[in-house]
Structures are given as C-alpha cells and as structure tokens.
Structure 1
Amino acid sequence: MYEWDFGFLWKYRTLLVGGIGYTLLFTVICVLGGLAVGLVAGLGRLSRHKVVTAPLRAFVEVFRCTPVLVQLVWFYYALPVLTGIEMSAPVAAALCLSLYGGAFYSEIIRGGIISTDIGQTEAGQAIGMTRGQVMRRIVLPQAFRKMIPPLVNQSILQLKNTSLLMVLAVPDLLYQGQVIAHDTYRPLEVYTFIAIAYFVILFPITLWAKRLEHGNLTAKEA
C-alpha cells in the first residue's frame, strides 16, 4: 500500500509559489499578446483585398492545424537558425503562444463581427458614417458581447498550454514540479498538488465564463 505524504512539499514552497507566479505572469503576457495579434488578424481578414486576407488566412490555418508542442520546439530551435536571431526559451515560448492564441482569437473576433446583423451596418452607412466609424461605434460594441465567453474559454486554454513550457526548461509550475519529483522520488504527491493547483486557478474562471455565456443567452431571449 502506498503511503501518501504531502508534508515534504512545504520544504519546496518557494519553488512551487514561484512556479505558480511564473505560470500566471506568462499566461497574462500570452493572452494580451494573443489578443493583440487576434484583433489585427481578425479585422484584417475582413478586408476585401486578397493581398491582405490570403497571408492572414495562411497564418491562422498554420497555427490552428499544427500541435502547439511542435510549434514551441520549432520556435526555440529552428527559428533562430532561419533568422539568425537568438532567443531565450521564455521569449521563444511567449512569441509562440501569443501567435498560437492569436490565430484562435482572430477567428473568434471575426466570427463575432460577421454575426452582427447586416442591417446595423447599413443603417450606419445610411446616416453618413464611414466604414471605420460603423465598425467602431456600432458593430464592435455589439460583437464584443458575443465574443466575451469564447475569448475567456480560449484564455483558459492559454493558461493550460503553459504547462508545455517545461519542454523548453521554462520555470513554470509543471517544470518546478518535475524538479521536485526528481529530487524527492515522490511524483504522485507532486503531480497531484500541481493538478489541484491548476484546478483551483481555473475552476473559478470557468464558472465566470459560464455566467457570461448564460447572460448572453438570457439577453438574446429577452
């Protein structure tokens, strides 16, 4: 019978707290970077010019159709060889996850915009608004309400994707847990604690996402 003992983890509290802090900080950076990329790509894909939409569509499909783990390894090892620009593991990981998230954010943003009633756009143009004014004052405020739940869900996935950073030796929570497990030979307690830590962080966010989604459905019914 295996005897569980979590008491030894107190000795490694500095590593664990640091890993949690690094994971959260990295998530914030990647979410903000992904939203910036997604906004540019999502709006760009609404352009009428194929010169603009074609490369953006290629970008979205490449990042959506390849595993994020492969992307992380490629960005860290292959991209410096191709560009001649050396990158640290955290920089390569942040760039990769921001672009990866941006590909999904862009589709959410584009979908929210095109789902807005076309009559709203026509009404704005009828009173003399430019296309940009219609987008800023009419379309985006309405579309943003629809975007919030899927944007939050994608951000949750961004946080979970940070667990892959351990392959690049980035000191996130899972990497620190691996260090502790190798040092103590008690992986069951270590990885159980890590799973609980992720759950404690993510569960309130998932509840918030469900409340937002429920609020949108209630608004539509009203």
Structure 2
Amino acid sequence: MDYQWDFAAVLRHLPLLLEGLAQTLRLSAAAIAGGLAVGLVLALMRLSGRRWLAWPAIAVIEFFRSTPPLVHLFWVFYALPILAGINLTPFVAATLALSVQSGAFFAEVYRAGIVSVERGQWEAGRALGMRSTALMRRIILPQALRRMVAPFVERAFELVKTTALAATLAYGELLYQAMVVVSRTFRPLEVYTTVAVIFFVVLFTASLAMRRVEARLGRSERQG
C-alpha cells in the first residue's frame, strides 16, 4: 500500500488539538483531585473496623473496579439527571464519574500504604495518648504517602488516558477535537498519530518529573 502521509492539514488545525489537550488536562486534574478525596474516604471507611462503614466501602470499591468506566460516564450523564432532576454539563458528568471510578482504585492504594506501616508506629502513637484521627494524620499517613507515590502516579496516568472516553459525551477533550479535525481533513492516520504523540510527550514528561520526585523522597527517607 502506497500511502502518502501529509501532516500539513494537521498543522493547520493544531490550535484545535491544543485546545483539546488543555481540556484533557483540566478534566484529568479535576478527576485526580476528586479521586484522591473519594479514595481516602473509602479507604478510611474500609479500615475503620466498623461493619456499617466497611461493607458499603467494600461494595463501592469492588463495583467501580469491576465495571467499565464508559458505563459510569453514560450512567452519570444520561441516567442521573433523570433520577435527580438536574442537568449536568459533559465536564461535570465526566468529573463525577471518573472521580468515583478512580477513587475506587485510589482507595486500594491508600489501604495498602496504610497497612504497610509497621505496627510499632501505631502502638507508639497510642502510647503517647493520641486519638485515632491524630495518629492517622500525624504519624501513619505521612509515612504511608511516601510508599504510595509510585502506584498513585501509575493510576493517575491511567486516568489521563481514560479521559479520552469523555469524547462520547461530546466533551471537547483531545480525542473529541481529533475527531472534529478528521471530519474536516479526512486524514485520520495523521490526526490520530499526532494525538498519540501528544499523549506520549505529556505522560512521558510527567513520568520523568515524578521519577525525580520519587528519588528525592527516597533520599529524604534514608536520611531521616
């Protein structure tokens, strides 16, 4: 097959793709922030030792980890407004769906990090008369967070790629804008290749930055 590559049309529409990238990063930041908050709540509920808190948390975690994120997006965008009588923009719907979905995964990262802290740290805090909330905030979480950095980053990268599904809600992120460009240029190979390169550059650059952060945390932990 003698295909003639032509990126000139893509370059003419590059501002549109960059606008899509900005919307992707906006949605990613909102969903990661929401997911971290939801995940922490679910993890603490699961580790509380109280069944009336632990079992609902387990149910939410397992449900959202075992069902496709595309179903969550459709349900929040199409079904929730009918049930709750509210109108949601594509951005708000995607943020809610991806926050809860990613929160289920973040919850397991939190839980693994918290239970990895040595038992002696818990006992030392209790011996000092610290309450559970203060013990968790001042002693356990600071130590656990250092061990959570790598899995958090990995999950965050997965979430950034998952935001492409928001195109199905007509949210103007990178993939949606790419489809617009394809409809105008009829050059799908060039457009989607450019989209793949943009995702690679963004995530690879972020990966290098996070490796430096991990290295610094590792050195500070050894020095401490």
* TM-score class normalised by the smaller sequence: over 0.9
| 1:185-213 deviations in Å (ceiling 9; x for gaps) | 11000000000000000012233445556
- C-alpha separation between the residues in 2 aligned to 1:126 and 1:80? 50
State the 1:27 CA deviation.
Answer: 0.7
The match for 2:139 is 138
State the 1:129 CA deviation.
Answer: 1.8
Deviates more, 1:91-100 or 1:204-213: 204-213
Q: Which amino acid aligns with 2:71?
A: V
Q: Which amino acid aligns with 2:194?
A: F
The match for 1:113 is 114
Q: Which amino acid aligns with 1:85?
A: I
Structure 1 residue 148 corresponds to structure 2 residue 153: no
- C-alpha separation between the residues in 2 aligned to 1:133 and 1:72? 37
- The runs of 5 or more residues in structure 2 that have no matched partner are none
The match for 1:45 is 46
Q: State whether residues 90 and 170 of structure 1, in contact with CA within 8 Å, keep that contact through their aligned partners in structure 2.
A: yes
| 1:148-192 deviations in Å (ceiling 9; x for gaps) | 111111111111011111111110011000011111111000000
The match for 1:99 is 100
- C-alpha separation between the residues in 2 aligned to 1:111 and 1:56? 15
The match for 1:157 is 158
Percentage of pairs with the same residue: 45
State the 1:133 CA deviation.
Answer: 2.1
- C-alpha separation between the residues in 2 aligned to 1:184 and 1:74? 33
CA RMSD of aligned residues (A): 1.9
Q: State whether residues 125 and 134 of structure 1, in contact with CA within 8 Å, keep that contact through their aligned partners in structure 2.
A: yes
Q: Secondary structure at the match of 2:117?
A: coil
The match for 2:62 is 61
- The runs of 5 or more residues in structure 1 that have no matched partner are none
Matches within 5 A, 1:68-83: 68-83=69-84
State the 1:214 CA deviation.
Answer: 6.4
- C-alpha separation between the residues in 2 aligned to 1:105 and 1:169? 27
TM-score by structure 2 length? 0.92
| 1:26-77 deviations in Å (ceiling 9; x for gaps) | 1111111111111111112111211111111111111100011111112111
Alignment size in residue pairs = 221
State the 1:217 CA deviation.
Answer: 7.3
The match for 2:171 is 170
Q: Which amino acid aligns with 1:62?
A: F
Q: Secondary structure at the match of 1:78?
A: helix
Q: State whether residues 146 and 216 of structure 1, in contact with CA within 8 Å, keep that contact through their aligned partners in structure 2.
A: no
Q: Secondary structure at the match of 1:85?
A: coil
- C-alpha separation between the residues in 2 aligned to 1:169 and 1:39? 30
